[in-house]
Structure formats: C-alpha cells, structure tokens
Chains A and B, each alone.
Chain A
Amino acid sequence: MERWGASMKEIERAISPPHEQKKSKPKEGLTGAKERWTEAMNVVPAILRAARCEGSRLHTSSSLRHIQKQTRLRVVDNSELGKSAMLEGRPPRCIHVYNKKGIGRTGDKVLVAIKGQKKQAILTGCHQDQFPLMPKFDSNNIVLVDENGSPLGTRIHVPIPTFLRKKLTEMSRPKGVDYTKILAIATRFV
C-alpha cells in the first residue's frame, strides 16, 4: 500500500463518502475531503471492492442463465396443475435434466418439482444465449408432459421454436413415447 503513499486506514477513510466523514473529527494534514475522496477512488482500484466481494460472496459477473437443477421455470401450457402453480407464485423447479451435460437447452426433457409432485416437462424456450437463428426467450418456458410424452394441457399460448419439430420427432420412439403432440397444441411457431 506504500506505493500510493497512504496507509490502509487513510484510504478507507478517504473512500468513505464525504458526508460520512463529517461525523469524525477532521484530521490535520488532510486537505479537501472531497478531492481526496475522488482521487482515492481513481487510485484505490478494484482491490477493496474485490476484497469486500470475497467476504460477502457476491458475484461480480452476470450469470449465464443456464437451466440446471434448482432453476425456476415457467409453465406455458394451460394444464390445471401448471396454471395453479404459476398463479400461486410457486413456479416449478428443475430437479433433473435428461442429458449428459446437466444443462438444458431448447427441446430437452427435464424433471420438475411442481406443487409437491414430480412431473416431466419439455423445454420450449430458453433464456440463455442461443446459436444464430435460434430464438432466445425472455423466460424459461416448459410444457408439462406425462410419461408417454403427451402434454397435460390442451393449448400453448406463447410461440415455440420451429426447431422443436425436428427435435421432438427425433426424441419420439415408434410404439413408445411420442412428444409430437406438443407441436399439435402450439398456436404459433417462430
């Protein structure tokens, strides 16, 4: 700290805003609390801020908004369960992502905890950064499905990506699960 010619105490004193300094007695030799404050803020860099962040465990970078375990999701179909959960302000949480990365992308299947039940759902829109031509949604949308892949609701009132036509068809199995009914209840594709 000697490289700035000030002790730690002086710097801490200097970076506290001027109005707080009035409470303590002004020390002799320190001229112009305001100038000192602005000057110190130009000099004392991110060290102190980083130190504070370290103590309080704050994040200093924005989040990637991945869909992983414990992510809150938004049900966009009109199933009773989904509608009541969203209206109560208890949105479902993702408790598992059915892929090897553990991070859900558009069209992946997730297991959600909704109103004390476990339900499977398909991600129909994600907020994380997307590849070109893939729509990025303002919320993480899901459509609840049962174990056969057919949706619990009868209508989806938000747009869904056209990419789901390919993805859900690939996920479906003949004489097994069939996710393509989601495409039939959608109102708009983007």
Chain B
Amino acid sequence: MLSAVPRRIFHTFFRKPPAQRVTAKVPPYIRDQLDSNTDNEQPLPHDFRTVYPEFLPDPRPEWRNRLRERLERNDMLTRRSVVAIPEFYIGSIMAVTVGDRNASDKTNRFVGICISRGGTGLRAWFNLRNVIDHQGLEIMYEMYSPLIRNIEVLRLEKRLDEELLYLRDALPEYSTFPLDMEPELLPEGAPVPINDIKVKLKPRPWHERWERKNLQGVQDLGLPQRFYNKAKLHEKPWEKYDLMMEYRATIPEEEQADIFHEIAPHYQQLESSRRQSKRRLAQTSRY
C-alpha cells in the first residue's frame, strides 16, 4: 500500500496526535449583569466593525485574555484622543508623518496607497506602498505607535479586493502617487466610493500565484490554460459552508456588541475627530 509515497511524507499526513495535547480554553462569554440591566443602551452605529476593526480582539483562543483586551482598548482610546486616526480602507491613499531623529527636520512624511492592514489592539498596523523615482517602496506603520505624529487620508476609497499585495507585481503606474498630492474631499455623509480599476500585472515570475487568489481588481492574467487548471484543483469552495471555521475566525456578535457599547461613550469624541479631520482637509484644500 502506498508504495509511491515516500515513508516520511506518509507519516506527516497520517501521524498520531500527540499523547498530551494542550488546548487553550476560553471561558464562555457571559454578559456583565450590571451592564445588561441598564436601559440606556444607545443604538450602535452600523459601521463600527468596518471603521474601527482593530477594537475587536484576535479570535484565536490561545491569545484571548479579556482583561488585557479591555486595558488595550482604554489605551487605544487615550492614544486616539492625542492623535486622530482617521477612517481608512485598503485602497485608500494616505500620508503618514512620523518622528524620525535621522531625518533632516526630525519628521518623515510618506505618501502611499494602503495595500494591507492587520493586527488587533495596540498592535494594529497598515502597509503603505508608493513608487518614488521609479523605485517601489513599502513602509509598514503601527497605528498606535507613539512615533506617529499625523495620519491623513488623501483619497478615501475602497478597491475590489481585500488585499492589494498584487500591486507589487503590477505595472508601476498603478502604485505611483505624487508626494505633494492634494487631499480630496468627500461630501458629508456620502458612502465610501469603490474604485473598480482593473490593474495590469507584469508577466511572470510573480511574488505569489495570483491566478489562485480569485482577484477581482486585475486584468486578464494571460496565462496558459494549465495554470487555471491547477488553480481549480487548489480552490476550496466548501470553506464558505464551514460553520466551525467561521465560528473560530470571528468574535461572537453579542461580545462585539458589548465591546462597542464599552467604547460607545467615547464615540462622540471619535466621531468629532473624524469630522475635524475632514474639516481640516476642507481648509487645506481651499488654499
């Protein structure tokens, strides 16, 4: 049996589970009785989850610690009262100013398109990409880093994909943005526009096998049919029906609601900083 498969590989797939397996246990979430009795719960703004995704903790059970998460949320709100961290999405064009003791005027400003975003709590980060002097550059910023002086959103928009890492393999004009770009203003209350631009990729070799990623924002990849056949073998269409996977990858809805109710008293301040940054944009764009 299985003569074609080398023994070592066979055992990696069919090995016995270890005798003592340590599984992380998270106590089930129980609502605080005092909180649930109060009737003055405000309705939640619907966009909390998309605007402030880093307030939700990492759902991995071995990393959960509800006390630490609460302390982190306090620290995040304190930091947000000092530096306004605006609403942004993958595909938005941003300018970040950081304190840099090696720079000539002790600050360093970088403009770029946000290609990925991640992390939770105080460790939340985002990546900016730009092409300067025909040289592609990416810088990763930690959102709650004390070195950050200012974060501006120059053009607030979304793209068709959840990550724009394919811009590394795209033609440079798709990730080139002038450093002196003017902030563009959206009317008050307007929905975030979705930029449905289709990017043209350079020929292979690429950083990843983009034909397997089901990308929406790229033009026809122009590969031979065998690449798409291979991609078909690797796709996992059953994952969208996997309820356990979804359960493990998300925070329960009741807990999310309580987290956002916890930061709801600060929501006025968050909103005002959001609006202020927009107003500042309006003033700067007038000159």
A8 to B1, CA, bound (A): 8
- Contact assessment for B168 and A135 in the assembled complex, using a CB-CB cutoff below 8 Å: no
In A94-126, which residues have CB < 8 Å from any B CB?
125
A174 to B3, CA, bound (A): 67
- Contact assessment for B102 and A47 in the assembled complex, using a CB-CB cutoff below 8 Å: no
A165 to B125, CA, bound (A): 25
- How would residues 148 to 170 of chain B score, 1 for a CB under 8 Å from any chain A CB and 0 otherwise? 00000000000000000000100
- Contact assessment for A133 and B135 in the assembled complex, using a CB-CB cutoff below 8 Å: no
- Contact assessment for A132 and B145 in the assembled complex, using a CB-CB cutoff below 8 Å: yes
- Contact assessment for B137 and A136 in the assembled complex, using a CB-CB cutoff below 8 Å: yes
CB nearest neighbor in A for B99? A133
The answer to whether the Cβ of B46 comes within 8 Å of any Cβ in the partner chain is no
The secondary-structure label for the interface of chain B is mixed
Number of A-B contacts defined by CB within 8 Å:
90
Which of A50, A62, A133 is the one whose CB lies under 8 Å from B208? A62
Given contacts A1-B1, A132-B125, A165-B102, contact A137 B137 (CB under 8 A): yes
- Contact assessment for B138 and A162 in the assembled complex, using a CB-CB cutoff below 8 Å: no
- Contact assessment for A187 and B133 in the assembled complex, using a CB-CB cutoff below 8 Å: yes
A135 to B6, CA, bound (A): 43
**Chain A residues whose CB sits within 8 angstroms of the CB of B168 once the complex forms:** 138
In A134-169, which residues have CB < 8 Å from any B CB?
134-139, 141, 157-159, 162-166
The answer to whether the Cβ of B140 comes within 8 Å of any Cβ in the partner chain is yes
| Chain B nearest Cβ from A120, distance in angstroms | 22
Given contacts A133-B140, A136-B138, A136-B139, contact A188 B4 (CB under 8 A): no
- Contact assessment for B133 and A162 in the assembled complex, using a CB-CB cutoff below 8 Å: no
A1 to B4, CA, bound (A): 11
**Chain A residues whose CB sits within 8 angstroms of the CB of B110 once the complex forms:** 190
| Chain B nearest Cβ from A118, distance in angstroms | 26
Given contacts A133-B140, A162-B103, contact A50 B9 (CB under 8 A): yes
A190 to B136, CA, bound (A): 12
Could you say which interface size class chain B belongs to? Answer: 35 or more
Which of A137, A157, A165, A187 is the one whose CB lies under 8 Å from B136? A137
**Chain A residues whose CB sits within 8 angstroms of the CB of B12 once the complex forms:** 50
A186 to B68, CA, bound (A): 45
In B103-127, which residues have CB < 8 Å from any A CB?
103-104, 108, 110, 125
Given contacts A62-B208, A159-B132, A159-B133, contact A133 B6 (CB under 8 A): no
Given contacts A54-B9, A162-B102, contact A138 B136 (CB under 8 A): yes
A159 to B28, CA, bound (A): 52
A46 to B12, CA, bound (A): 11
Other A-B pairs, 11, CB within 8 Å; known A132-B140, A137-B136: A1-B1, A17-B229, A50-B12, A131-B140, A132-B141, A133-B145, A134-B139, A135-B139, A136-B140, A158-B134, A159-B137
Sorted from nearest, which 9 A-B pairs have the closest CB atoms?
A138-B136, A158-B135, A162-B102, A165-B102, A136-B138, A162-B103, A132-B140, A51-B5, A135-B137
Q: Which residues does B use to contact A, with CB under 8 Å? A: 1-6, 9-10, 12-13, 98, 100-104, 108, 110, 125, 132-142, 145, 147, 168, 207-208, 229, 233, 238
Q: Which residues does A use to contact B, with CB under 8 Å? A: 1-2, 8, 17, 41-42, 45-48, 50-51, 54, 62, 125, 130-139, 141, 157-159, 162-166, 187-190
